[in-house]
Amino acid sequence: MKKLKFTKDEGTAFYKELNESLDKYFTETAQPRTGNATMYFKIVLYFSLDILFYILMMKSDTAFEFYLYYLLMGLSVLLTAFNISHDAAHGVAVKSKYWNKILFSISFNLQGNNAYVWGKNHNESHHLYTNIEGSDIDVLNNPLLRMTETQPLKWYHRYQFLYAPFLSLLYSLNWFFMRETLMLFKYTSRTIQVKIPPLEVVKLIVYKLAYLTYMIVLPILLLPFGTATVIMAFILNHFMVSIIFTSVLGVSHLSDYVIHPLPDQDGKLDMSWPSLQMKTSVDYNASSVFFNWTLGGFNAHALHHLLPNISHVHYLKILPMFKEIAAKHGVVYMDMPYSEAYKSYMRFLYKMGRQQHLDIAVYES
């Protein structure tokens, strides 16, 4: 990963005042920056739903019930990841560092994905160097999809806005079967190579086998619906998870409103770190109670990127302050309805498939 240097600008003063105001807010309200009673309720709720739907799935009398509870469990596990795993990965779900680690490990590893790999690279790469090719782990170098201007423009990319939604169906399956497995052989579609410690390699294999056991093997052995039905439920579940996951997260950083900046030859960017976050993240319905509750604050992505040390349960309270201070310093904050964010995502795919250099749209609040 290429380490970069930043430049002071209007975002520097904005970020300084924002943190001072937040310090004052949390001191006056006597609240921790970590999760409060709402978060504790969410932890109990989502983990209980995960267990409940699995039990109901394993007690199904008909194929319809089996499919219903299988998919509800998949949805519940995904919402657990949005609301619990993500905050825990940043150490802000609860006060205890130990319990944050346990919550993150349990909720992530039991999905068959490696918590260490995702957590380390999410925090040390994606959050630090958002949208910068060669430094952000989440910037892909996928020959089927052109995502940055430095990637070669092929003839078939002109159709990527049409086939990308279908490819997104495979996101979760690719993550489980291919993404981390190929990392073991030092191969990845990411623009950064990832080294996995030996202990994490063992855990990666063990948890993937455990996931396949309780999601496929046990239902086949203990239920009367047959192998084909179980395999179909497994695939449909991953299709559902993939659609939701990519729809929720894809629009935040893949948009014709955001930039993919390039550092100079000395590894220096012509902007501050706070400005980078504001220019590479799109928020949608940031003030929505429903989205905050279900998506764990993922819809307020710029706010989260600037303040990963604050639990999402506080976002609705601090959002007005965030907007006010950004406007005061002339820092553009992009918050729009989800429909516009999705249209921008599709325009991004369209433009990147036809233009050598991306025509950035001008955001108007």
Closest-CA residue to 147 (of 179, 189, 195)? 189
* For residue 173, pLDDT beyond 80: yes
Domain assignment present for residue 147? The answer is yes
Q: Given pLDDT bands bounded at 50, 70 and 90, which one contains residue 74?
A: very high
In whole angstroms, give the CA distance from residue 97 to residue 95.
6
**Residue range 344-352: average pLDDT?**
95
Show the 3-state SS of 246-298.
HHHHHHHHCCCCCCCCCCCCCCECCCCHHHHHHHCCCEECCCCHHHHHHHCCC
Structure tokens at 61: 């009398």
End-to-end Cα, the chain, rounded Å: 35
* For residue 195, pLDDT beyond 60: yes
* pLDDT: which is higher, 364 or 22: 22
Domain assignment present for residue 111? The answer is no
pLDDT > 90: percent of the chain:
72
**3-class DSSP state for residue 2?**
coil
Domain assignment present for residue 70? The answer is no
**Residue range 343-353: average pLDDT?**
95
Angle in degrees, CA 42, 168, 229, rounded to 5: 75
Work out how many domains the chain is built from and give that number: 1
Domain assignment present for residue 348? The answer is yes
Contact 145, 160 (CB under 8 A): yes
Give pLDDT, residue 112: 82
Per-position DSSP letters for 151-200, written without gaps between them: S---GGGGGHHHHHHHHGGGHHHHIIIIIHHHHTTT--SBSS-----HHH
Domain assignment present for residue 52? The answer is no
In terms of residues, how long is the chain? 365
Q: What is the pLDDT of residues 129-169, one digit of tens each?
A: 898 888 877 777 778 999 888 889 999 999 999 999 999 99
In whole angstroms, give the CA distance from residue 79 to residue 245.
10
Q: Given pLDDT bands bounded at 50, 70 and 90, which one contains residue 190?
A: low
Give pLDDT, residue 180: 77
In whole angstroms, give the CA distance from residue 152 to residue 110.
38
Cα dist from 206 to 112, 200, 202, 209, 315, whole Å:
9, 10, 6, 5, 36
Domain assignment present for residue 106? The answer is no
Q: What are phi and psi of 362, to 5 degrees?
A: -90, 125
In whole angstroms, give the CA distance from residue 138 to residue 254.
11
**Residue range 20-43: average pLDDT?**
95
Give pLDDT, residue 42: 96
Give pLDDT, residue 187: 65
**Residue range 87-116: average pLDDT?**
89
Q: Given pLDDT bands bounded at 50, 70 and 90, which one contains residue 253?
A: very high
In whole angstroms, give the CA distance from residue 14 to residue 197.
39
* For residue 240, pLDDT beyond 60: yes
Domain assignment present for residue 102? The answer is no
Give pLDDT, residue 184: 73
Q: Given pLDDT bands bounded at 50, 70 and 90, which one contains residue 204?
A: confident
**3-class DSSP state for residue 15?**
helix
Query: Which residue range is the domain that position 144 belongs to?
Result: 10-33+120-352
Q: Given pLDDT bands bounded at 50, 70 and 90, which one contains residue 120?
A: confident
Per-position DSSP letters for 90-130, written without gaps between them: TT-SSS-HHHHHHHHHHHHHTTTS-HHHHHHHIIIIITTST
Domain assignment present for residue 309? The answer is yes
